[in-house]
């Protein structure tokens, strides 16, 4: 099969982790006889520095004509502490989501047995954690207008907007995943306060009727934040709006022991984007110490979701599991023993993929 990938390494540790994910992608492609083409493009702070735009038109054009986008990370301390900066790297990510119409961000949360003791939660609470957060990605407070400041600068406002159509497509997607899993959907909202949340609930109630085989529960976001750490095993598919999903998925990510482990897929109308959920970790940039596994697992999701190549994705996943069992891991998840570099881990995984019968 011809696999045409746009590669957007971005900022901070982005380039080093993407390099390892690409090695794994190449190894799997070679092994299964796929014809892989990778084209690199700029995004984030590096794109602002080079061309003054965090999501340049050339990058968008490449994404549109590719079969999948493999994305590293975005963000730079240079912009974080400057509230007056006119363009910010994060705008590149938001522009990409909007222009590619990636309305769903899918973040599977599973626990790796070798990392259970790294979690801040008690081991007995997390052994069977296996859920999926589906976050709406192109609406809500992130994109609602008006947004801005009053003329005298003393008042600022953001607007939360959702249409029935936007809610319908994301909630439907959640049910479609739930049927293939443990058949439970948790709709997270704040319907006791917010008008948009009441619309979410109304639309969800209609869709729930179409899926009688799926158990539906409605949960306020504050309660969901609590239940996620108190009883994480109870969740199967969680679906929620953009801002709630942003917050809950960061919370969910630490359950598993390391933020460095979780991949994500953003899907919608145009080309899907696969990226680790962690950020650009600027303190570690260029040091060859960052954990590449979330990005390598994002490549696995890419094979499965974008290309429908399940065996290839499963082999990458198996290689990642094996590297952890063998203790070939970076310092964030090393268990007392030796810590390996980003490139050591990547190389081990490539060897595993190529040698696996
Ligand atoms: C994420 C990130 C982004 C978001 C930032 C970098 C704009 O936190 O992907 O979760 O808020 O969506
Ligand atoms: Mg976030």
Structural domain ending residue among the three candidates 242, 261, 280: 261
Our count of domains for the chain comes to 2
Q: Tell me, what's the pLDDT at 308?
A: 96
Model confidence at 331: pLDDT above 80: yes
Q: How far is the CA of 243 from the centre of ligand 1 (A)?
A: 9
Closest-CA residue, ligand 1 atom 6, reads 90
Percent of the chain having pLDDT more than 90? 89
Q: How far is the CA of 176 from the centre of ligand 2 (A)?
A: 24
Q: What is the mean pLDDT of residues 69-91?
A: 90
| Pair (199, 236) in one structural domain | yes
| Pair (111, 162) in one structural domain | yes
Q: What is the mean pLDDT of residues 297-326?
A: 96
Given a contact cutoff of 8 angstroms between Cβ atoms, the answer to whether 281 and 73 are in contact is yes
For the chain, the first-to-last Cα distance in angstroms comes to 21
Residues 141-171 pLDDT 10s: 999 999 999 999 999 999 999 999 999 999 9
Which of 143, 246, 265, 294 maximizes ligand 1 atoms within 8 Å of its Cβ, making it the mutation to test the pocket? 246
Is 158 annotated in the active site?
no
Q: Please, is 68 exposed, middle or buried when counting C-beta atoms within 10 Å of its C-beta (0-12, 13-18, 19+)? A: buried
Which atom of ligand 1 is found nearest the CA of 249? Answer: 10
Percent of the chain having pLDDT more than 70? 100
| Pair (184, 248) in one structural domain | yes
Which of 73, 93, 241 maximizes ligand 1 atoms within 8 Å of its Cβ, making it the mutation to test the pocket? 93
Given a contact cutoff of 8 angstroms between Cβ atoms, the answer to whether 275 and 71 are in contact is yes
Annotated catalytic residue: which of 158, 168, 246, 321? 246
| Pair (134, 216) in one structural domain | yes
Q: Tell me, what's the pLDDT at 354?
A: 97
Closest-CA residue, ligand 1 atom 10, reads 246
| Pair (147, 112) in one structural domain | yes
Model confidence at 185: pLDDT above 90: yes
We report the CATH number of the domain holding residue 119 as: 3.40.718.10
pTM over 0.85: yes
| Pair (185, 139) in one structural domain | yes
Model confidence at 246: pLDDT above 90: yes
| Pair (2, 96) in one structural domain | yes
| Pair (251, 121) in one structural domain | yes
Structural domain ending residue among the three candidates 261, 287, 321: 261
Parent domain of 156? 103-261
Residues 42-58 pLDDT 10s: 999 999 999 999 999 99
Closest-CA residue, ligand 1 atom 12, reads 246
Cα separations (Å) of 72 from 11, 140, 229, 325, 333? Answer: 8, 25, 28, 25, 20
Report the pocket of ligand 1 as residue ranges, CB < 6 Å.
74-75, 90, 93, 246
Q: How far is the CA of 104 from the centre of ligand 1 (A)?
A: 13
Asked whether residue 315 is assigned to any structural domain, the reply reads yes
Q: Tell me, what's the pLDDT at 46?
A: 96
Residues 104-138 pLDDT 10s: 999 999 998 888 888 999 999 999 999 999 999 99
Q: Tell me, what's the pLDDT at 172?
A: 98
Q: How far is the CA of 246 from the centre of ligand 1 (A)?
A: 7
Model confidence at 71: pLDDT above 80: yes
| Pair (96, 111) in one structural domain | no
**Closest Cα partner for 274 from 135, 132, 106?**
106
Residues 215-235 pLDDT 10s: 999 999 999 999 999 999 999
Residues 7-54 pLDDT 10s: 999 999 999 999 999 999 999 999 999 999 999 999 999 999 999 999
Asked whether residue 150 is assigned to any structural domain, the reply reads yes
Q: How far apart are CA 150 and CA 128, in angstroms?
A: 50
- H/E segment holding residue 323: helix 310-325
| Pair (73, 108) in one structural domain | no
| Pair (166, 315) in one structural domain | no
Q: Tell me, what's the pLDDT at 259?
A: 82
Q: Tell me, what's the pLDDT at 86?
A: 85
pLDDT band at 77 (very low <50, low <70, confident <90, very high): very high
Q: How far apart are CA 183 and CA 204, in angstroms?
A: 15
| Pair (257, 313) in one structural domain | no
Closest-CA residue, ligand 1 atom 9, reads 277
Asked whether residue 338 is assigned to any structural domain, the reply reads yes
Q: Tell me, what's the pLDDT at 84?
A: 79
Asked whether residue 266 is assigned to any structural domain, the reply reads no
Q: Tell me, what's the pLDDT at 336?
A: 80
Q: Tell me, what's the pLDDT at 280?
A: 95
Is 332 annotated in the active site?
no
Structural domain ending residue among the three candidates 233, 261, 289: 261
Which of 8, 73, 90, 254 maximizes ligand 1 atoms within 8 Å of its Cβ, making it the mutation to test the pocket? 90
Q: Give the three-class secondary structure for 120.
A: coil
pLDDT band at 64 (very low <50, low <70, confident <90, very high): very high
Is 82 annotated in the active site?
no
Q: Tell me, what's the pLDDT at 271?
A: 98
Torsion of CA 233, 235, 237, 240, to 10 degrees: -130
Which atom of ligand 1 is found nearest the CA of 137? Answer: 12
Exposure string over 153-166, b if 16+ CB within 10 A, otherwise e = eeeeeeebebeeeb
Q: How far is the CA of 213 from the centre of ligand 1 (A)?
A: 33
Q: Strands, DSSP E only, in 86-232?
A: 104-110, 130-136, 148-149, 156-157, 184-189, 215-220
Is 142 annotated in the active site?
yes
pLDDT band at 357 (very low <50, low <70, confident <90, very high): confident
Cα separations (Å) of 62 from 5, 8, 71, 194? Answer: 9, 10, 13, 39
| Number of Cβ within a 10 Å radius of residue 122 | 8
Which atom of ligand 1 is found nearest the CA of 250? Answer: 10
Given a contact cutoff of 8 angstroms between Cβ atoms, the answer to whether 110 and 235 are in contact is no
């Amino acid at each position: 099969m011809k696999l045409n990938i746009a590669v957007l390494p971005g900022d901070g540790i982005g380039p080093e982790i993407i390099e390892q994910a690409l090695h794994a992608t190449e190894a799997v492609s070679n092994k299964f006889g796929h014809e892989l083409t990778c084209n690199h493009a700029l995004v984030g702070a590096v794109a602002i520095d080079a061309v003054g735009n965090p999501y340049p038109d050339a990058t968008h054009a490449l994404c549109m004509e590719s079969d999948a986008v493999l994305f590293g990370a975005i963000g730079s301390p240079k912009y974080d502490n400057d509230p007056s900066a006119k363009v910010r790297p994060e705008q590149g990510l938001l522009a990409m989501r909007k222009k590619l119409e990636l309305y769903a961000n899918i973040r599977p949360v599973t626990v790796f047995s070798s990392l259970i003791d790294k979690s801040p939660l008690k081991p007995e609470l997390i052994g069977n954690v296996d859920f999926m957060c589906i976050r709406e990605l192109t609406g809500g407070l992130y994109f609602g207008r008006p947004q801005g400041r009053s003329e005298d600068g003393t008042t600022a406002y953001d607007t939360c907007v959702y249409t029935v159509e936007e809610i319908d497509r994301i909630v439907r997607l959640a049910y479609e995943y739930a049927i293939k899993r443990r058949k439970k959907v948790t709709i997270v909202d704040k319907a006791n306060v917010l008008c948009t949340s009441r619309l979410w609930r109304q639309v969800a109630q209609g869709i729930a009727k179409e899926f009688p085989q799926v158990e539906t529960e409605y949960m306020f976001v504050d309660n969901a934040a609590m239940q996620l750490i108190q009883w994480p095993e109870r969740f199967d598919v969680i679906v929620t709006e953009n801002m709630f999903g942003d917050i809950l998925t960061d919370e969910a990510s630490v359950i598993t022991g390391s933020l460095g482990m979780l991949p994500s897929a953003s899907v919608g109308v145009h080309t899907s984007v696969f990226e680790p959920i962690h950020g650009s970790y600027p303190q570690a940039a260029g040091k060859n110490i960052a954990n590449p596994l979330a990005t390598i697992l994002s490549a696995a999701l890419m094979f499965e979701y974008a290309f429908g190549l399940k065996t290839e994705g499963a082999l990458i996943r198996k290689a990642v599991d094996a590297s952890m069992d063998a203790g070939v891991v970076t310092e964030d998840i090393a268990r007392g023993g030796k810590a390996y570099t980003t490139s050591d881990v990547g190389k081990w995984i490539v060897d595993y993929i190529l040698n696996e019968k």
